[in-house]
Amino acid sequence: MKLTLKIWRQKNAAATGKIVDYQLDGVEPDMSFLEMLDVLNEQLINNGEDPVAFDHDCREGICGMCSLFINGEAHGPDRGVTTCQLHMRMFKDGDTIFIEPFRAKAFPVIKDLVVDRSSFDRIQHAGGFISVNTSGNTIDANTIPIPKHDADRAFDAATCIGCGACVATCKNSSAMLFVSAKVSQFALLPQGQVEAADRVLNMVHQMDAEGFGNCTNTGACEVECPKGISLENIARMNREYLSASLKG
């Protein structure tokens, strides 16, 4: 395939960015999207040009690093996949592809397609932990009986990889889906009850402090989430937050 790539280029956080056009030929349908960018960068390096900076790590849909806004969609046109799992067979010969970084006040651009998502780390540091001592006196996990339905829902919430697609998709740049997933994965388990009230209060307050917007209730975040995190988690977080606030 021969493609026209319109890529956001920005030298650093202080620089003014712009869309730059590139022509790329010989793209195989079975290439991943990141492999296609690797080919482009090899071409740029051979021409003595600065390669396009983009985040990547595992390339297996696990780490959440490869967060790109492709043709107006977080992680591109496919569903239930991250950018590294997106294949070029989703595009046609002669297509024009717009590639941009995730846009949010709380995700400042570092360079080109790389954004600073350390705000997510700070939200997790605010409450994404349990104080139950699990070292030195290890016991079998099944010693604590947990209803399968609760265990399944906790596991579903824990599949969130913190990529930020929910933030990039929301017109208010809300992080409610991410935060609610991190709250839910502990809220549904007995080990997470010790600091349940402090957790939800601290994580929501940190989310607001980072500059994320309010939930729009449109559900776009769930649609674009590569792990299919449910909106039910937001409802659970709201209940947890209201309960914790009333307890004072």
Would you say residue 167 has pLDDT above 80?
A: yes
CA dist 77 → 29, 90, 118, 219, 241 (Å): 15, 7, 26, 17, 34
Is residue 119 within 8 Å of residue 210, measured between CB atoms?
A: yes
Q: What is the pLDDT of residues 64-84, one digit of tens each?
A: 999 999 999 999 999 999 999
Q: Is 115 helix (H, G, I), strand (E, B) or coil?
A: strand
Task: State the pLDDT at residue 185.
Answer: 93
Segment 128-144 mean pLDDT: 71
Paired tokens of 36: 């296609």
pLDDT tens for 199-221 read 999 999 999 999 999 999 999 99
pLDDT digits (tens, 9 = 90+) for 78-102: 999 999 999 999 999 999 999 999 9
pLDDT of residue 132: 72
pLDDT of residue 145: 83
3-state secondary structure of 167: helix
3-state secondary structure of 89: helix
* Mean local confidence (pLDDT), 150-155: 94
pLDDT at 142 over 80: no
